[in-house]
Amino acid sequence: MALVPELMAISIENSLEQAGYKPTTDKAAGHDFYVAFSKGIIDHLNSNAEVVIEGGSSSGTYKVT
């Protein structure tokens, strides 16, 4: 699954709006903030993700690339 900052930002904004917040109004952080925030999350996931294989000849922990 590809992780796309722009799409994640839109999803965050939509979720905040559904919860009653106004994430992109004049006094709010704005869309660029949510894109940057999403990029940080995605970068962290991409650089630290691991998968654990618990059985078989390939058992072990592997970095997700």
More confident residue, 64 or 62: 62
Domain ranges across the chain: 5-63
Report residue 44 as tokens: 């962290």
Q: How many CB atoms lie within 10 A of CB 3?
A: 13
DSSP state letter for 28:
S
pTM for this entry: 0.76
pLDDT in tens, 1-34: 789 999 999 999 999 999 999 999 888 889 999 9
23-51 burial: b if 16+ Cβ within 10 Å, else e: bbeeeeeeeeebbeebbeeeeeeeeeeee
